[in-house]
Amino acid sequence: MSDPTTLDLISSWLHIVSACIFLGGLVAWFAIVSPGLARVADTGARAAAEGRARTCLRLVVAHGLVLLMITGFYQLVRFVETQEGVLQRREGLVLMVKIMVAVLAFLLFLFAPYPKEGSEGRRTAAKLFYAGAALMAAVVILLSRYVR
């Protein structure tokens, strides 16, 4: 394997930071924001605060996710370049599964329904989409450990 370049190191660092932003944003929503909003008695104020919080958090997490995909693609290209025949070995299969799971996490986050005021069904669906995206992200992290 060749020595990593400066761009490889920067890409790896950005990849880890963006994974923390993505997963941390989802965990923050479920562990801090959502339970805190549940304690607000006034439903109108709760809905307004939830809408603002969801918009801000979604913006941050989406940027982290885009950066995660870009750096992940760069690392994939570099990994395949430096590892002869990697796609024919078990690591290549795990890498392909990791990519599919990462794309699924991205799609779950991207297409999560945006709940309207007073729409409990859409709110529950959004929570399920975000929980699925967080679970898929955790699976990607576990698969990453196997590939390296």
Q: Please tell me the distance from the alpha carbon of residue 82 to that of residue 129, in angstroms, as a whole number.
A: 36
Buried b (16+ CB within 10 A) or exposed e, 93-125: eebeebbebbebbbebbeebeebeeeeeeebee
Write down the pLDDT at residue 141.
Answer: 78
Residue 125 lies in a domain: yes
29 in a domain, yes or no? Answer: yes
Helix axes 6-28, 43-82, angle to 10 degrees: 150
* 21, part of any domain: yes
The per-residue pLDDT for range 1-53, each reduced to its tens digit, is 467 788 888 988 998 888 888 888 888 887 888 888 888 888 788 878 888 88
Can you read off the two tokens belonging to residue 138?
């955790």
Q: Which structural domain range is residue 88 located in?
A: 6-147
Contact (Cβ atoms closer than 8 angstroms) between residue 142 and residue 94:
no
Report the C-alpha gap between 90 and 93 in whole angstroms.
Answer: 5
Give domain status of residue 69, yes or no.
yes
50-108 residue pLDDT tens: 888 888 888 888 888 888 888 888 888 887 777 776 667 777 777 778 888 888 887 87
Burial of 91 (0-12, 13-18, 19+ CB in 10 A): middle
Residue 22 within any structural domain of the chain: yes
> What's the structural domain count of the chain?
1
pLDDT value for 86? 67
Query: Could you report the per-residue pLDDT of 96-120, keeping only the tens digit for each?
Result: 788 888 888 878 777 777 666 557 7
Q: Report pLDDT for 2.
A: 60
In a domain, 1, yes or no: no
Q: pTM of whole model > 0.85?
A: no
**Residue 124 — pLDDT band, cuts 50, 70, 90?**
confident
What was the pLDDT predicted at 120? 73
Number of C-beta neighbours around residue 134 at 10 A: 20
